[in-house]
A and B are shown apart, each in its own frame.
Chain A
Amino acid sequence: MLEIKDLHAGIDGNEILKGINLTVKKGEIHAIMGPNGSGKSTLAKVLAGHPAYQVTKGEILYEGKNLLAMAPDERAREGVFMAFQYPIEVPGVSNAQFLRLAYNEKRKHLGEEELDPLEFKDLLKERAKVVEMDASFMTRSVNEGFSGGEKKRNEILQMAVLEPKLAVLDETDSGLDIDALRIVAGGINQLHSPENAVILVTHYQRLLDYVVPQYVHVLANGRIAKEGGKELALELEQKGYDWLKTTATETSGATVRAS
């Protein structure tokens, strides 16, 4: 489904990702962990097509197609979804209005009939159950005045409505109390199926107690420094990231010398 090959990307000439390789298949759950500033959000944003980041080398294939050639909205309609680490507030646009527009864009893309506000209301009511979100959130402006946890739940609600094939969830667990974490994790598990894939970007391993990944990749200084199964997350929990940072720096130093 997703193949990232030797991806180098950065912003304003500063290279942040320095050669990422990652393959994700249908039905899989991957976790990308790593210390602050290691490039996790950058990777997520490059996947979503954020215009501020430039890809300087490498390629990304999504369902065999060149993802980097697609505009962000096109990627989304093709089934790529990113839950933002810091969801954006959109004043004056109601959550329901926004979700319906997004949902209908996808339907149109698939050649299906659009839903009118009433039909959509029913669908939204169903999907909102996935994250136990109250109807009162639907008439409010998108994320405006939402608490940190509510914003994260709203991201997963969007995922529930859009049913992406590839979901990249950037620190969806941060800022959640334990009850909200359980709800959000439950939502992700409900939405995950053999037909789609999830990439969990996280700093901590606590989310991974609920949503269990098959693969864990540890990012350090713009590179994947270590890969393994779910045990790797536990190991990181015990050892922290410091030992990785050294390794990564050494590796990068070696590269510099070699080049």
Chain B
Amino acid sequence: MVTEITKLENSYEEAFRTLQGRSKNSRGSWLPHLREKAMERFAELGFPSVKDEEWKYTNVAPIARIDFRPLLLADAVAPGSDANRLADFTCAEAAQSQLVFVNGVLRGDLSSLTALPEEVVAIDLSQALTNPGYSEIAREHLARYADYVANGFTALNTAFVDGGAFVYLPKSVTVKAPLHLLFISDGNRLATFPRVLIVAEENASATLIESYASTSDADYFTNAVVEVVLKDGARLEHYKVQRESAQAFHIATTMAELGPNTSYDATAITFGAALSRHDIHVTMDHEGAECWVDGLYLVTGNQHTDTHSVIDHRKPHCTSHQLYKGILDGKSRAVFNGKIFVRHDAQKTDALQTNKNLLLSNEARVDTKPQLEILADDVKCAHGAAVGQIDQDELFYLETRGIHHDLARNLLTYGFAEEVIGKIKIDSIRAELDEAVLNRLNARLEA
């Protein structure tokens, strides 16, 4: 075991040395230094094991076992993703406000930002790090929230910080067009490390779509870290849409730091990947913040998906809403672990957490664990979890109206998911989900 892991870490190590060598002269010393520390930490931590309480139900041994090659080592990955094939993954609403990354590399030819107000910054992270206008902002926030000391995956991502997106929303700007960050991967055995930093100044307001997709059925590994910083009164609607290839591994961390009177509305949609894990951590360390941390996972076959969320109420008068719904078919497996902390100071906290799962097959399985830890005494908190199957009375009712058995099941499945689908304000994403849920079983019907 030990030798195997050592060998594999050497593969990342090799790429890491190449990266550090390249950026030696061109950048300030803090970034290579940060990477160095992160890489050291990764060497110590390695990948988590199921003995770690936080990874109890999600075995990442398959990721450790495969010799993924970071982009730096992968020789000229086929450009593959041409504009035509991208059409399946872009959003009509964001045609002029998208950054497209193919195998980790920002593709100017596929991106367009003309719909964004001039003062909004959405550039490659590596560019931001060298730009005197933004490097200070980047330095102030990058890796401040995503803790690479505690988490091996975050450490590995941080060791490879290079490309990615830097989004800066100046004071009071309102961005109408949703900004779409689209990460496409199609390289076999490729490891990419998307990194996103979003800083919204006072009263800025925007919508972000962060999506992951593949034009192939490659067995790549995405290890993403997104840090969101909202200053006083800022508002962000954040959609994460994960539809990686069926062979892919997707590990992602979202860290959101909410300032006073901010609003952060997150919705995570998970369809793809053989194995996926999303850690979302929202910190409310200022009064008057409100967040929604919602999600929908739809898995089938042998897919495994894990959501770990932390909503940390540290100051009074903050509100959090959480609704995660899961639909599981085949032999799929889902994990939901949601922690809500209400710290000593966080009086008048209002927190509601719900996780509901619909099992469409007898072989699917869910492990759900909502957790509330309340130290303040004047709070309103509730949580609940449920795992169920299609209701037979509802099914019979639909059938007596002439609706075929499979379609009736779809319709009920759709009804189950609607609570999350219905809140999505981007029409193209909602339409895609409608399709996915309603037609999934149609496929069965026709088969």
Residues of A within 8 A of B (CB): 48-51, 71-73, 75-77, 81-82, 84, 87-93, 97-98, 101-102, 105-106, 109, 141, 158, 162
Contacts and interface: CB of A to CB of B under 8 A. Distances in A.
A97 B412 CA distance: 12
B446 interface: no
B419 interface: yes
Contact of A48 (B392, B400, B403, B407): B400
Interface string B135-175: 00000000000000000000000000000000000000000
B334 interface: no
A91 B416 CA distance: 7
A92 B417 contact: yes
Contacts of B414: 92-93
In this complex, the interface size class of chain B, counting residues with CB under 8 Å from chain A, is 20 to 34
Nearest to A161: B401
A117 B400 CA distance: 22
B411 interface: yes
Contact of B415 (A71, A75, A84, A92): A92
A238 B392 CA distance: 40
B404 A81 contact: no
A93 B412 CA distance: 7
Interface of B: 392-394, 396-405, 407-408, 411-412, 414-419, 422
B403 A90 contact: no
A238 to B, nearest CB: 35
5 contacts: A72-B396, A73-B402, A76-B403, A101-B411, A162-B401
Nearest to A87: B397
B415 A72 contact: no
Nearest to B404: A73
B402 A76 contact: yes
A164 to B, nearest CB: 9
B402 A162 contact: yes
A71 B405 contact: yes
Contacts of A50: 396
B394 A88 contact: yes
Contacts of B402: 73, 76-77, 102, 105-106, 109, 162
A98 B411 CA distance: 8
B400 A105 contact: no
Nearest to A72: B399
B398 A90 contact: yes
Nearest to B392: A51
A76 B411 CA distance: 17
Given A90-B412, A92-B414, A92-B415, A98 B396 contact: no
A81 B415 contact: no
A244 to B, nearest CB: 30
B212 to A, nearest CB: 27
A186 B425 CA distance: 42
B403 A71 contact: no
A12 to B, nearest CB: 15
Q: Which 8 A-B pairs have the closest CB atoms?
A: A92-B415, A92-B418, A76-B402, A102-B401, A88-B397, A93-B415, A72-B399, A73-B399
Given A73-B400, A105-B407, 8 more contacts: A50-B396, A51-B396, A73-B401, A84-B400, A90-B398, A97-B411, A98-B398, A105-B401
Contacts of B419: 92
Nearest to B406: A73
Nearest to A158: B401
Most buried by A among B403, B405, B418: B403
Nearest to A164: B402
A95 to B, nearest CB: 12
Nearest to B407: A101
Nearest to A50: B396
A72 B407 contact: no
A77 B141 CA distance: 62
Contacts of B408: 73
Nearest to B401: A102
A228 to B, nearest CB: 30
Given A90-B415, A93-B412, A98 B401 contact: yes
Given A91-B415, A92-B417, A141-B415, A76 B397 contact: no
Contacts of A109: 402
B396 A92 contact: no
Contacts of A98: 398, 401, 411
A93 to B, nearest CB: 4
Nearest to A97: B411
B403 A102 contact: yes
Most buried by A among B397, B402, B403, B422: B402
Nearest to A73: B399
B400 A82 contact: yes
B250 to A, nearest CB: 27
B400 A92 contact: no
Contact of A76 (B401, B415, B418): B401
Contact of A73 (B392, B405, B412, B415): B405
A101 B399 CA distance: 11
B399 A84 contact: no
A73 B417 contact: no
A56 B402 CA distance: 25
A105 B415 contact: no
A81 B404 CA distance: 15
A71 B398 CA distance: 12
B404 A76 contact: no
A38 B408 CA distance: 31
A82 B400 CA distance: 7
Contacts of B392: 51
